[in-house]
Amino acid sequence: MQDSGAMILDVRKEHRLTQPFDHSFVVRVALAGTLFGCGQQSPSLPPAPPNAADVAPPASLGALSRFSVPLEYDFTAVMKLVDQVVPRTFGSIDSVKMMGTDSRKHYAFEATRGPFTAFADGNQVHLRATIEYKARGFYKPPLAPTISAGCGFGAEKPRIVVELATPLGLTPNWHLVSHARVVSVAPASSTPRDHCDVSMLHKDVTPQVVEAATAGLAGQLRNIDSKVGKVDLTSHVTEWWGMLARPIRLADGVWLVLGPERLRAGKVSGRSKILVVPVSLDARPRIVTGAAEPVEPVRALPPLARDSVSDGYHIVMDGVVDYVTASREMTSALGGKKLEESGKSITVNEVGVVPLTKGRVAFAIAFTGDATGKIRLIGTPLYDRLHQQVLFPDLDFDLDTDSKVLQTYSWLRTGNLRKELRKRARIPVTAALDKGRALLLDGLNRKIGDAVTLSATVDSVAVRTLFVTRDGLVVRAEARGHAGVSVRQR
C-alpha cells in the first residue's frame, strides 16, 4: 500500500484507550443493514475475551469554535426615547429678544417639532424631524409707536429640518450606548415659504430661529445619551443564551452540545431601521452519546467582549463500524473468491472480525477446497484518506492459534496468499462519515425555541485518527464548516 503514502493513518500508537466514551459521535452503520444497529458477535469466531480491546477511545473535548451571531436591533424604540427627551416646542411668541445690538429691533418666535423619523447609515443612527414655526418682528421708530409684522400665523408655516445622529453600540453589561450629536438644523427649502422675512425690519429672522433650535437640541444631547443608555438587553440575550446551551438531539442516544462560552461584538452597521451588531459566539461544540439527554450546566451570561474574527466551527465526530458490519463487509469482499497458492486453491466461505489488544484486529477465515478449515490472521488497521477505507497492510498469520492448520497445509503460509488477503482486506467507512455529516447538518440547521435559528454548512470532514475498541473500529473525524445563529427580536 505504498501508493497511499501520507494519506494513511496508523492506529498502533492509539490503542491505550482508558477514558469514558461520553463525548464522541457514534455512528453505527451496518453497511448492508440498518443504521444505529447494535453489534453482534460474528459466528466465525468466539466472543472476544474481556481484555480483547479497550472499551472506548479517549474522550474528545470540544475544540474552540466560532459561530456568527448577527444581532439585529430595531431602533424604533430608540427613536421613541429620543422623542420623549427632545421638547416638542421651542421658544414663545411672548418672549421678545433683541436682534443683534440694535435696540430698536426685536423678534419673537414659537416653534413646534414634529415626530422623529430614523434611518441607519453605517454605524450611525440618524433621526430627523421637521419644525414649523411662527415669528414676529418688532420695530420702534424714534418718534412713533412700535410696529410689528410676522409670518407663520396662517395655514402654512415656515419649516426647518433638524437632524441628530448617534453611533449605537453595546456596553460589556449589555446596555445600549449612545453619543448623540447635532448634524444639521436648516430651512426645509430655499423657497419663500420656509424663510421668515420681516420686511419692515429688512431682516430674515430664519437664522435666529435656526440658532435657537440648535441650542435647544444641543442642550438635550446628554439627556438623550442617558435615556438610551438605560436600555438593557440582558434579559433578551440571557434567554437565547440559555437556548444555545441546551443539548440538541441528533438521533436516539446522540446529542449535539454547543457549549457556549463567550460573545464578542464587532463593528456595528445598520440598514433601514435595523441595527446589526456582528457578534461572534465562542463555543466548544461536541457530540455526546447516552440514552438520556445530557445535563449541561448553563453558564451565566458573560460580559460582552470585543473584536473577534469568526473562523468557523470544529466538531469531532466518531464513525463506528461495528464488527458485525466489518465481518459482513469482509465476507462480501472475500466470500466465494477462489485463492490459488502453489498449484492448489481454497474458496473463502466466511470472514469474522474481532478486536484484539494493542490496537490489533483478528480475521477468522473459514474456507474449503484443497484445504478445509479456518485460519486466523492478525493486523493493525490503517486509515487510507484517499479512498476512505480501513486497510490492514501488515495482515499476517497467527502462528500461535493456527499452527495445526498451517502445519497440515503448509502451502497456505506462502507469500502469495497472504499478499492477496492484505490486498482485499478493506473496510470502507464512507457510509459512516456521510451519516455523520448528514446528522450534523440536521442538528445545525434548525429552530431552537421561538427566537433562535441555527444555520450551518459542513465544509469538510477529515479523519484524524483511528481506534480499535470492543464495540467497533472508531474513525475519529473533524467536521469543519461555518455556522450562524439568527435571533428574532421580540
Which pLDDT value is given to residue 43? 42
Q: Under a CB-based contact definition with an 8 Å cutoff, are residues 281 and 244 in contact?
A: yes
Q: What pTM value is reported for the model? A: 0.65
| Strand spans (E) along 202-306 | 203-204, 248-251, 254-257, 260-265, 269-271, 274-283, 286-289, 305-306
Which pLDDT value is given to residue 303? 93
pLDDT averaged over consecutive 10-residue blocks of the chain (490 residues)?
43 39 33 30 46 62 80 79 88 86 86 90 88 89 84 90 90 91 94 82 80 90 92 87 89 88 84 79 85 85 78 83 90 87 88 91 91 89 90 87 72 79 87 87 87 88 90 89 77
Which pLDDT value is given to residue 488? 67
Q: Under a CB-based contact definition with an 8 Å cutoff, are residues 198 and 149 in contact?
A: yes
d(CA 77, CA 94): 35
CATH 3.10.310.10 is the classification of domain 1-71+232-490: no
Which pLDDT value is given to residue 153? 87
Which pLDDT value is given to residue 404? 74
> What are the residue boundaries of the structural domains of the chain, listed by start?
1-71+232-490, 87-219
Which pLDDT value is given to residue 393? 93
Residues sharing a CB contact under 8 Å with residue 259, sequence separation 6 or more, in sequence order: 62, 245, 283, 284, 285, 286, 296
d(CA 337, CA 409): 19
